[in-house]
Structure 1
Amino acid sequence: MQKMTRRDSILTMVSALAAGSTVARTKAQTMPGPVEAQATAPLYQAAQPSASDQAFEKFVDEYFDGFFQFNPARATSAGIHKYDGELPAYSQTDIQNEIARNQRALRELARIPSDGLSQNNLLDATVLASLINGRLLDLADIRMWAKDPGFYNAQAATALYTLVERDFAPLDDRLKSLIVRERRVPEILNNARANVVGPPAVYTRVAIEQAQAQLDFLQNVLPHAVAGAESPALKTEFEKVNQNAVSAYQQFLKYLQTGLTLQSQGNFALGAEIFRKKLLYDEMVDIPVKDLLKIGYKEMRRVQSLFKQAANIIDPTKTPLQVLQSIKQTAPAADQVIGNTQTVLDSLRQFLLSHEIVTVPAAPIPQVMGSPPFMRGLTFASMDTPGPFEDHSIQSFFYVTLPNPAWDEERKQQLLRFFNPFSTRVVAIHEVYPGHYVQFLWLKQAPTKARKLGSTMNGMSTSVEGWAHYCEEMMLEEGYGEGDPNLLLVQLQAALMRVCRYLAGIQLHTQGMTIEQASNLFQQEAYMETANAEREAMRGTFDPTYLAYTLGKLEIMKLREDYKKKLGDNFNLKAFHDQFLSYGIVPVKLVREQILQDRTPVL
């Protein structure tokens, strides 16, 4: 067993990451000593900051200032509203400047002596070095800005949506910022035309769907979201700016459907080496592809076996797919959805307390509400939590989308079947208790600014989606649902979908798997309908690390089992969960090193 040391140079770490040295990267990710989990206090006692600490904290301030200038919607989501009235046009000059800024940041980080850093700052420096390298990989090597027209739609759409998503300021103030951002939309779409050349056909296909949805958002949803503004002048200005954005999207959509579609001959696959680097930088996982696939197929066989056993218990006369379909046919009445969902959340929260699953830090209890009108076309159910720096709008909402009374009965029932009692519980575990919402509460009290903001960058999904997916399985293991095989079957189908993401993501980008083959994988192994399977397969082409759900779950499960072996009878599940969450959102690898004090494999 390789023990850990304290003296790891950030200079060595950054140089190694930049040079692509796997060995040096592994050394640089080593972190000192374990911590005791605390739900309401910092991980470490405050001490007089050293010169290194002061330099690093200045670096964090400056780095995220530049990051949020390039990604202002992420600042808005984080509860930092200094950038609400900003939005770049994402020209090639803007993008090249962002690449250069990240290159400078790595050099600056390398100059900070690691010996003088506090334990928290050393951990944060390790994470930031990896994430900044991930940013450079995305912008300079993968270059989605040059091959995915949807990149530009995403920037424009999130910039507007985050300003109306929650009431963090008076509507008139938010409308002022929205007008400034929306003025940029035509320029952003023009830059998409200039920058994107020869994209993969699937990217153009998805971008067309996204542009159509955004056009509907601008025409029918956004005006409703700002209708309550008081200033007539602001409303008039918004109508003008919004119409310009609508016209720009109409022209952009026509361009996608005609000109760009004919040019869409590109390859979406990253290739094995870029895929390896992305997984390393984003998740700090450096496992050979062939070994990752073995792990994934082993997990799929395990879950498949459990799925078939559960289906056989429910009805041995039907196939597993028939059993699953019959379970999901149960639909509540529309006026029961909110009450049923609130009851589920209450039962989950009580289960966490009575079974000592995890500490839930004090905070307003999430309120179940019908999705606001401007969100109804975007989601079935969603968790809306304030950012870690949000001080004004601190209520969390679990939104459920109710059917439009004007719909025909079949369309209403199709939506309501999503809220069958079993799927509702699995989704609530993942999104609320003890999944994303509880993790958010712990993130709010993270000890450093860097820890709170690191999750605004791409990466560390194994710690976020991995945790939420782990919770689905863990809660049933601990007795939630009292062994109901119907609930288990629905949870296992969700697990099969995630393990198919794992396998598809790897094989689409490193093994020559086609979209059709990936779709077949989801249909045959996860019992998904054709349309949903195709959508999942397409997602894998532009979200290569959506393996993070299963990968993170497996990492956490192995950490838990290894910690059990180490502590023996002294192991306590609640203490383990509290300790895991106390680190904030950082790669599971680093949490593992902290808790176990060794460098044993993550899987």
Structure 2
Amino acid sequence: MHSFRSLPLAAALLLALSACQPSPAPETAAGNAAPAATPDAKVDQQFELLSKRFLDKAMELSPITATQMGDHRYDGRIDDMSKGGRAATLQAAKKFLAELDSLEVARLSRENQVDAAILRNQLRYEIWSSETLQSWAWDPQVYSQLAGGALYGLMARDFAPMPERLKSATARMQQIPALFTQMRANLDPARVPRIHAETVARQNAGVLSLVDELIVPNADQLKGEERKSLDAAIATLRAAVAEQQAWLDDTLVPNAKGDFRIGESLYDEKLAFALNSPMTRQEIRTRVEADIASTRAEMYDIARGVLADRPDAPEAMPDSPSPEQQQQVIEAALELAYADRPARDEVVELATRTTEEATAFVRENNLVTVPDTPVKIILMPEFQRGVAVAYCDSPGPLDKGLDTFYAVSPIPDDWDDAQVDSFLREYNTRSIHELSIHEAMPGHFLQIAHSNKYPSILRAVLGSGPFIEGWAMYGEKVMSDAGYMDGDPLMKLINRKWNLRAMANALLDQAIHVDGMTRDEAMELMTVTTFQQEREAAGKWVRAQLTSAQLPTYYVGYSEHLDLRREMEQREGDAFELKAYHDKVLSFGSPPVRFVRQLMLDEPIQ
């Protein structure tokens, strides 16, 4: 997964995995279908000024996001989640939406029509999120991610001299206790799902791990009164975190009575805008179910080839297997891949090596232009653990020349041997290769590096989750098709298994939040139908309760990227050139895939 940056205006957007969108169906850039109009430079100028004012206001209203984006004017402040702060955010969103609606958007250049459509989607999301979803009233993750992000964004990268960043960290640590107070005032325990409360209770101390790991070791770089202020802020924050922990453990968790399932109406509203795609919930289900069947059939054929002539192969491997025979043969072949796995303390080292190997393969096979900037593999910060195994954390579009992090979560210390074994079977050596392809090369790291070169800051800040996640999955297919790891059939089998995981994600999300899928049903879909190990499936069950409308982004974006590639291959025929195609797709930044298609084919933006 990519560590999505949230656009300000709503601080809750820092919880990227809980991203949600407004209820009406997506409109065209002009608000509704309209005939093509002649571009007008004056209207373009009006929109660009509106876009700049929006970004400036958005950064002012969410200083933590501003830091993530690389705008460091507000590094000494944090977001205001009080009633007044939220009202200011809502008022700003409505004001900018009214201004945007007053423009002759059909007279914009094509690129600006895309940006206008993206901006309208975002503003309507802000309004819907504040007035209808109200995550500020029931999701404590909003606040825990703000608290951790406030310090991590300052200290993780060397965008300014350490003393300057320490002074900003001092100011933010002084304000985090007020954020905790706002959290306690805003949250209604009767609406808070227990899984959300328990997760945040486990994450709470992660703020102090950031202090101890990133701030305290550098504290001597401040002297005199500045050092005293830093020490006092740390002491105050430690006390505030302890007070918060007591409230979480004694008040929020015991009284959390909310339903984590958001229901059909909210889900469909959210999904339409989270995806910004023509695919509906019903269409996703139909397509996923067909793809699961075809992918399992392909895996069966690969598995038969792997197991041929092996004395321990299943007795029956017919051309037309029963469901039970298909399951047995695929599982037997996957066991060969699971046998090759790292030790529990070697996962990060393996992630580093596989990233280097994948990078060399992309260059040697001329698949796509590789950026010169490096990627660093790190342990995932504690405050972000518990949702995903890994993520790519790229520098903000306004920060230039800084590191990209490929963060890998360590295996929890309290896991027993059976849990560790389950995890390492899932994240076997070949799966770590697949993970590095997805998170780094040619996945998230490469794609975001290209995206950050696109001149529209608005488009970079409002990057499309389906485009980003879909590209990372598409990158896995490109590597498999190109014969990565010498065309190793077990690597191909693992690739298809990972495809199945994304398909399961898309089904799980809607089945859990709309159809009432139980844990047992979810575990069967993951561990049997899509061959996931128990630890992976158990973690995904938790993630699916904590989030909604994010898990489908992988499959939907992947499907859209595949559809676009096929269409361009058909149009260009023998003239189609893979690297040129990839570079072209990546040259537009990270907009929804439908806009990339319309730009490439010179079709109306809608």
Per the normalisation by structure 2, the TM-score is: 0.82
Change in 2 beyond 3 A, CA 1:31/1:386: farther
Match runs of 1:525-564 below 5 Å = 525-545=529-549, 546-564=551-569
Determine if the alignment matches structure 1 residue 578 to structure 2 residue 583.
Answer: yes
For the 8 Å contact 1:271–1:509, the answer to whether it is kept is: yes
SS in 2 for 1:275: helix
Deviation at 1:476, TM superposition (A): 0.3
User: d(CA) in 2 for partners of 1:522 and 1:404?
Assistant: 22
Partner residue in 1 for 2:445: 437
- The match for 1:324 among 325, 334, 337 is 334
Deviation at 1:213, TM superposition (A): 2.7
> Relative to structure 2, which stretch is displaced further, 69-78 or 414-423?
414-423
- The match for 2:82 among 74, 91, 115 is 91
Match runs of 1:142-541 below 5 Å = 142-199=133-190, 203-215=193-205, 217-226=206-215, 227-229=217-219, 230-232=221-223, 233-315=225-307, 316-317=313-314, 320-321=330-331, 323-332=333-342, 341-361=351-371, 363-367=372-376, 371=379, 382-391=391-400, 393-398=401-406, 420-455=428-463, 460-541=464-545
Deviation at 1:261, TM superposition (A): 3.3
Change in 2 beyond 3 A, CA 1:562/1:403: closer
For the 8 Å contact 1:224–1:374, the answer to whether it is kept is: no
Match runs of 1:131-142 below 5 Å = 131-142=122-133
Change in 2 beyond 3 A, CA 1:210/1:402: closer
SS in 1 for 2:510: helix
Partner residue in 2 for 1:14: none
For the 8 Å contact 1:271–1:510, the answer to whether it is kept is: yes
Unaligned segments of structure 2, at least 5 residues: 1-20, 308-312, 315-327
For the 8 Å contact 1:519–1:536, the answer to whether it is kept is: no
Partner residue in 2 for 1:42: none
Deviation at 1:503, TM superposition (A): 0.3
For the 8 Å contact 2:144–2:203, the answer to whether it is kept is: no
SS in 2 for 1:388: coil
User: d(CA) in 1 for partners of 2:30 and 2:287?
Assistant: 21
Deviation at 1:570, TM superposition (A): 2.1
Determine if the alignment matches structure 1 residue 129 to structure 2 residue 129.
Answer: no
Deviation at 1:489, TM superposition (A): 2.4
Change in 2 beyond 3 A, CA 1:543/1:342: closer
> Relative to structure 2, which stretch is displaced further, 256-265 or 415-424?
415-424
Deviation at 1:413, TM superposition (A): 8.3
User: d(CA) in 1 for partners of 2:212 and 2:177?
Assistant: 18
The one-letter code sitting in structure 2 at the alignment partner of 1:79 is G
For the 8 Å contact 1:152–1:188, the answer to whether it is kept is: yes
Partner residue in 2 for 1:106: 97
Deviation at 1:581, TM superposition (A): 0.8
User: d(CA) in 2 for partners of 1:238 and 1:423?
Assistant: 43
Deviation at 1:463, TM superposition (A): 0.4
Change in 2 beyond 3 A, CA 1:175/1:204: farther
User: d(CA) in 2 for partners of 1:125 and 1:302?
Assistant: 39
Deviation at 1:544, TM superposition (A): 1.5
Determine if the alignment matches structure 1 residue 81 to structure 2 residue 72.
Answer: yes
Deviation at 1:175, TM superposition (A): 1.4
User: d(CA) in 1 for partners of 2:282 and 2:380?
Assistant: 45
Deviation at 1:154, TM superposition (A): 1.4
User: d(CA) in 1 for partners of 2:175 and 2:489?
Assistant: 52
Deviation at 1:161, TM superposition (A): 1.4
For the 8 Å contact 1:211–1:249, the answer to whether it is kept is: no
Change in 2 beyond 3 A, CA 1:20/1:345: closer
Change in 2 beyond 3 A, CA 1:235/1:204: farther
User: d(CA) in 1 for partners of 2:87 and 2:518?
Assistant: 32
User: d(CA) in 2 for partners of 1:32 and 1:356?
Assistant: 38
SS in 2 for 1:184: helix
User: d(CA) in 2 for partners of 1:504 and 1:422?
Assistant: 25
Deviation at 1:27, TM superposition (A): 6.9
Unaligned segments of structure 1, at least 5 residues: 1-16, 34-47
SS in 2 for 1:356: coil
SS in 2 for 1:350: helix
> Relative to structure 2, which stretch is displaced further, 333-342 or 105-114?
333-342
For the 8 Å contact 1:332–1:417, the answer to whether it is kept is: no
Deviation at 1:584, TM superposition (A): 0.4
Deviation at 1:438, TM superposition (A): 1.3
Partner residue in 2 for 1:57: 48
User: d(CA) in 2 for partners of 1:31 and 1:582?
Assistant: 26
SS in 1 for 2:462: helix
Query: 1:219-264: per-residue Cα shift (whole Å, max 9, x none)?
Result: 4442231212311444443333233323333333333333333433
Deviation at 1:340, TM superposition (A): 5.3
Query: 1:260-318: per-residue Cα shift (whole Å, max 9, x none)?
Result: 33433323333333323323223222434322211111122222223333344334336
> Relative to structure 2, which stretch is displaced further, 493-502 or 243-252?
243-252
User: d(CA) in 2 for partners of 1:155 and 1:125?
Assistant: 28
User: d(CA) in 2 for partners of 1:56 and 1:322?
Assistant: 58
User: d(CA) in 1 for partners of 2:412 and 2:141?
Assistant: 29
Change in 2 beyond 3 A, CA 1:220/1:153: closer
For the 8 Å contact 2:523–2:537, the answer to whether it is kept is: yes
For the 8 Å contact 2:460–2:589, the answer to whether it is kept is: yes
Deviation at 1:325, TM superposition (A): 4.7
Deviation at 1:152, TM superposition (A): 1.2
The one-letter code sitting in structure 2 at the alignment partner of 1:163 is L
Query: 1:353-378: per-residue Cα shift (whole Å, max 9, x none)?
Result: 333321224x23435x5549879978
The one-letter code sitting in structure 2 at the alignment partner of 1:122 is Q
Query: 1:77-97: per-residue Cα shift (whole Å, max 9, x none)?
Result: 222211211112311221122
